[in-house]
Amino acid sequence: MYPINFNYRMPAEWSEHRRTFISWPVQASMCHPEDYETVCKGYTEIIQAVAEFEPITVLVNPDDSKALCSIFTDKRIEFLEIEHNDAWLRDNGPTFLVNNLGQLAGVNWRFNAWGGKYESWDLDDRVASKLLEYFNIKRFDASLVMEGGSLHVDGEGTLLTTEECLLNQNRNSELTKEQIEAELKNNLNVRKVIWLKRGLEGDETDGHVDNIACFAAPGKILLQVCNDPNDGNYEITRTNLELLQGETDARGRSFEIIPIQQPPKLYDPETGARLTLSYLNFYFVNGGIIFPVFGGQAAETDELAKLTLTRIFPQRRIRTVNGMGVIREGGNVHCTTQQMPTGINRL
């Protein structure tokens, strides 16, 4: 049985990009609308950082378009008016595919605001189809409720995700694990799905994998770890480590697992909720990595994580950004971005 999109596959994020997409924040939908100016500064820093490496298209609501054109003057930063409720394009945007001829297609997943957590999401559910239509890109409509931050691929047939998110009853409650896995294989043309158990403690996305693990290359996985037995992430990360140590990828290779020590615990000063700090919520760009750091008590782990990435990716420039800029809204660099690939692999 051929996958639905058997001529296309999802390339790894480190593959060459044609451009990056990001959506501008919407104050009305923010968890902390009083932080709108701070969050906009955080997005501005991410956008300008990406533009140092490749073109970036910012999706804007029509009311914001004129103001943003006066803020950003770099010719590599473009604007596209597509209405949206929320700004996490990794999750409500399309997942891009390529075929052997370098032709693009996009998967249009169903979106329900992370299990119906936020009203409204009607505009967000149409973002992917509108973006693909604008660029005249072939569209595959998927039946799954799915967010892009809940999966990573190695570009060679292996997909990484978590049971906590994909098996959550607030997404695809009518489907079994086996049925969800079959849909992933069909839509993304992967051959093996590796299921981690849980994401980080307090992650309101219900355990997106892009906060806890990612491929660094085929056969190589970065894993955020915790060494404090009194921390809720200790058991979570140990379980995921043990699982990965016993796994192989779609080509039968055992994994080289590279641990990255988590930042110190940090809580929201107003709500008391734990903030989901992750060094793995970075984003590959052409020739570089956009990497969130947190400062303060995290200065030491910031530097250790940066040194690890520098060692693993010696040909890439590690461009740091302030990871605290958007963190209270529940995500970070990877969550805000979505890559359009060219189909040409480059580690």
Query: Residue 282 burial by CB count (10 A; 0-12/13-18/19+): exposed, middle or buried?
Result: buried
Supply the pTM of this predicted model: 0.95
Q: Which of 40, 165, 214, 335 is catalytic?
A: 335
* Under 8 Å between Cβ of 295 and 302: yes
189-192 contact pairs (CB < 8 A, 24+): 189/3, 189/5, 189/6, 189/8, 189/9, 189/10, 189/97, 189/157, 190/9, 190/10, 190/153, 190/157, 190/158, 190/159, 190/250, 191/157, 191/158, 191/250, 192/157, 192/158, 192/159, 192/249, 192/250
12-45 residue pLDDT tens: 999 999 999 999 999 989 989 999 999 999 999 9
pLDDT at 4: 63
pLDDT digits (tens, 9 = 90+) for 235-253: 999 999 999 999 999 999 9
- To the query of whether residue 226 is one of the catalytic residues in this protein, the response is no
Percent of the chain's residues with pLDDT above 90: 88
3-state secondary structure of 138: strand
Could you state, in order of their start, the residue ranges of all structural domains in the chain?
17-341
Is the CATH code 3.75.10.10 the one for domain 17-341?
yes
